[in-house]
Amino acid sequence: MTLLAIYDHSNTLAGGQIAPLPQLFTGNAELIASELGQRGIGFERWPARASLAPDADQAAILAAYAPEIARVQQGGGYATVDAIRLNPEHPDRVALRQKFLAEHTHSEDEVRFFVEGQGLFCLHIKGEVLQLVCQQNDWIAVPAGTRHWFDMGSEPRFCALRFFNNSEGWVAAFSGDPIAQSYPFLDALLQPQGAP
Ligand SMILES: [Fe+2]
């Protein structure tokens, strides 16, 4: 289930020794879209499509979602799109997870659509931290300049379409703030006993 937790960062102790308490923790899709929308984050749930073949390549994945991709690209935005797919057997999963785990910004929007599986987006906006467990069929648009990090978990299992305005793709500016260490990671949020 898609989940959103919102924290007042001023109440969070650095270092993550004590799990911070969210002010809001919800799986209500309408409330999630509303709370994110109030903070300038785009969020939609797109209709499900037939599941992809295990060996579907990049071209097959993009072809399966051609109508949705065309809709996002209407008006000329996000001219570059690709698909990233990871499973727990991926040989580089540890390094890939680390790459996204530190707080960073981009000079362009970060726009993702989860075709399969799940991932955790964490957004640091004006004294708040928002943690969003994205699931299959979730579409998220994080505006340029928003501080954020992403956790695919210790056993990554997801496929996401990535939309870019920049043909060079993923370029990050790291803030150097260890804030991610103070908040739960995906594994903890997916455990029922780990939920606040
Ligand atoms: Fe990012």
pLDDT of residue 193: 53
- Confidence label for 194 from pLDDT (cuts 50, 70 and 90): very low
Q: Which two tokens stand for residue 93?
A: 């999963």
* Gap between the Cα atoms of 13 and 37, Å rounded: 27
Distance from the alpha carbon of residue 102 to the mean position of ligand 1, in angstroms:
9
**143 Cβ contact partners less than 8 Å away, ≥ 6 residues apart:** 40, 41, 109
Percentage of the chain beyond pLDDT 90 is: 74
Q: What is the pLDDT of residues 117-130, one digit of tens each?
A: 999 999 999 999 99
Q: Is the pTM of this model over 0.75?
A: yes
Residue pointed to by tokens 């931290």: 129
> How many residues comprise the chain?
196
Give yes or no for a contact between 138 and 47, defined as CB atoms under 8 angstroms apart.
no
CATH 3.40.1190.20 fits 3-194, yes or no: no
Distance from the alpha carbon of residue 51 to the mean position of ligand 1, in angstroms:
26
Q: What is the pLDDT of residues 54-109, one digit of tens each?
A: 889 999 999 999 999 999 998 778 988 999 999 999 999 999 999 899 999 999 99
Helix/strand/coil for 2: coil
Distance from the alpha carbon of residue 35 to the mean position of ligand 1, in angstroms:
20
pLDDT of residue 12: 82
Q: Which two tokens stand for residue 2?
A: 């898609």
Helix/strand/coil for 44: strand
Distance from the alpha carbon of residue 81 to the mean position of ligand 1, in angstroms:
15
**28 Cβ contact partners less than 8 Å away, ≥ 6 residues apart:** none
Q: Which two tokens stand for residue 121?
A: 């987006």
- Confidence label for 28 from pLDDT (cuts 50, 70 and 90): very high
DSSP string, 95-111: HHHHHHHS-EE-SS-EE
CA 73-167-86 angle, 5° bins: 85
Distance from the alpha carbon of residue 104 to the mean position of ligand 1, in angstroms:
6
Distance from the alpha carbon of residue 178 to the mean position of ligand 1, in angstroms:
15
